[in-house]
Each structure stands twice: as C-alpha cells, then as structure tokens.
C-alpha cells in the first residue's frame, strides 16, 4: 500500500497528549501533527528519531499532517494504527494472508455487541470467520510483542471472539507487525498479564492466533509474510 503522495520526512521533537506530536522539518519548520496511535509507542517515540508524515486532503481536519512511521535503530516502524486494517484487507484480497478457506466476501466493522465491533467478517467457502486486527509496533529482545500498554479493550475483543465460535464459525486475532526486526511474535505478559493469559485461554478454546510482518518504508507499507509464534509462548500454551 503506497503512502499518500504528499509526504515528508522530519525529526520527532516530542509526542504528547496521546494523539499529538511535534515534528521538525529539514528547513527548521516545526509542525504539530496528528498521532494516530493510542498506545504507549514504547520503543518508537524517542525525541530525535527520524519520522515520515503524510498530508491529508481533508480541509476540515485541525491537523493536516499525520505521523505515519518512526525510525528506531535504522528500522522503520509503522505507528499509524489505522493502517493495520487496510494492510490486512489488502493482504486478504491478494491471498498474502492465505490461512482461511477461499474468501467470498470481506465485510469490515462488524457489530457483535452493544459496546463493540470486530474488524472483519469473512464469508468463506468453509463458513464465516471473524477477524480482529491488532497493530504491533513493539519489539523487545527480537520478539514482536503486543500490547505496548494495558488494553482492556483488547482483552474484551478476545473474549468476544471466543463467544462467536461454533461448529461452522472460525475466529482469529491477527497481529499486524509493522516493522521488520521481530523474529517471532509473543504476547507482552510483562506489560499486560491479563491480556496474555486471556490470549492463551481463548486460543485453547479455538481462537486462532496469527501474526504477519509488514515491510515498512517511507514510500510503501505492505504485509509480506507470516511471522512465527515464539517458542516460549508455545511452551506456555502446552503447560495449560
């Protein structure tokens, strides 16, 4: 998926109030941009980091520019969580994500309760599949990890996926890893132990846990390949 044509590189001054960041351009201009990431952005929000920002053509936006990616230790990291669903939709259509039966239709934003929606309902030749997508931007000790902050919403989504399972219906949580330096995926138990425990619980009930790596560059972001589940997490599953 190509980034918007109007984009610039710059340097991160600071990220603050969760949804704002100040950026310095090469000519010295400073911009306040929208930061579309409600997480902690642990490991990808250090002042002085190179960034890529894009400009919206929506004249009603208060902040025209959006923070798209941050570079840490030479690795570009996609921090725009809104990209994850677009990337997964594209990869499903192109069969890069090819773990489900042949897909007949893809329906986004499925209401499953009074308080919640899940990201996709796939109608496949084998039956319906509910998919919840989570953006992963954290890598520690070579492991891509989610979440980077406590997520009650993410834990609730896991329970909802499990409740939707039946003989014909599949359910999956898909972690979209928008960086290239993670060797495998594991839940961030040290950050949110309840989410990690719930992930183990629902996987044993039949919810599929998937992780896919995206190639991230200043010109393009796209899902390229599956990412294996870390052996330490597999061992945790076997102990239960």
Q: What is the pairing mode between strands 7-16 and 50-55?
A: antiparallel
pLDDT of residue 5: 72
Alpha-carbon Rg for the chain, nearest whole angstrom, is: 18
3-state secondary structure of 16: strand
pLDDT of residue 240: 57
pLDDT of residue 237: 67
Top CATH class of 82-239 equals alpha beta
pLDDT of residue 239: 64
- CATH architecture classification, 7-77: Beta Barrel (2.40)
Residues 6+ apart with CB under 8 A from 34: 19, 20, 21, 61, 63, 65, 66, 67
| Torsion angle defined by CA atoms of residues 112, 115, 120 and 121, in that order, rounded to the nearest 10 degrees | 10
Long-range pairs of 20-27 with CB within 8 A, sequence gap ≥ 24: 20/63, 21/51, 21/67, 23/51, 23/53, 23/65, 23/67
CA dist., res. 193 & res. 231, Å (int): 18
Tell me: the pLDDT tens digits for 81-119? Answer: 999 999 999 999 999 999 999 999 999 999 988 888 999
Residue in 48, 12, 76 with CA at minimum distance from that of residue 217: 76
To 5 degrees, how large is the angle CA 46–CA 87–CA 95? 140
Phi first, then psi: give them for residue 204, nearest 5 degrees: -70, -25
Q: What is the pTM of this model?
A: 0.94
pLDDT of residue 115: 80
pLDDT of residue 118: 97
- Domain positions in the chain are 7-77, 82-239
């Amino acid at each position: 998926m190509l980034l918007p044509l109007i984009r610039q590189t710059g340097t991160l001054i600071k990220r603050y109030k969760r949804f704002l960041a100040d950026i310095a351009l090469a000519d010295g201009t400073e911009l306040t941009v929208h930061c579309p990431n409600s997480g902690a952005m642990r490991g990808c929000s250090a002042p002085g980091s190179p960034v890529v920002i894009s400009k919206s053509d929506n004249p009603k936006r208060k902040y025209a520019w959006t923070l798209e990616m941050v570079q840490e230790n030479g690795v570009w990291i996609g921090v725009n969580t809104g990209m994850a669903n677009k990337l997964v939709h594209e990869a499903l259509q192109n069969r890069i994500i090819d773990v489900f039966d042949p897909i007949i239709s893809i329906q986004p934003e499925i209401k499953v309760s009074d308080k919640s929606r899940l990201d996709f309902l796939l109608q496949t030749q084998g039956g319906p599949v509910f998919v919840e997508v989570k953006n992963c931007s954290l890598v520690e000790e070579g492991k891509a990890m989610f979440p980077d902050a406590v997520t009650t919403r993410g834990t609730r989504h896991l329970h909802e996926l499990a409740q939707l399972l039946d003989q014909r219906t599949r359910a999956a949580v898909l972690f979209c890893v928008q960086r290239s330096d993670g060797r495998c995926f594991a839940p961030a138990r040290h950050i949110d132990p309840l989410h990690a425990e719930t992930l183990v619980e629902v996987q044993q009930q039949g919810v599929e846990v998937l992780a896919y790596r995206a190639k991230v560059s200043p010109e393009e972001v796209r899902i390229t390949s599956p990412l294996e589940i870390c052996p330490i997490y597999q061992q945790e599953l076997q102990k239960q």
